[in-house]
Structure 1
């Protein structure tokens, strides 16, 4: 089986420079039987990431981050 990934919305709320940032991602995953073309149940995938970035000098920066992913899915019938 092949997995097809459809991205419905991906919004970034961060800019360059020092400080806090937030990334939110909402996707949908669909399982398709490659041989028959049968589509099975879809799965929803949600993720977020909180980041803090600060400059070490003019050429380098340091990034701390925390990530969370939430998924909902079902087995093929």
Structure 2
């Protein structure tokens, strides 16, 4: 038996020529993709550098109130 090869490319409307959506939709999509990538990059950096300080701040506001040295040392 022969196996059928499945293509993963989308079969949506073409952005070249034709009426309707035209180039305006692709520009908006490109802008949205760029903005999303930029925002995700910034969120990654904020998460990376903000997680440990957030844990320390939450730990200092809990009951009983520990000293900063108690939070940073393993004893």
TM range (shorter): under 0.3
More helix by share: 2
Higher strand share: 1
- TM-score (structure 1 length as normaliser): 0.17
Whose relative contact order is higher, 1 or 2, with alpha carbons under 8 Å and at least 6 apart? 1
Q: Rg: which structure is higher?
A: 2
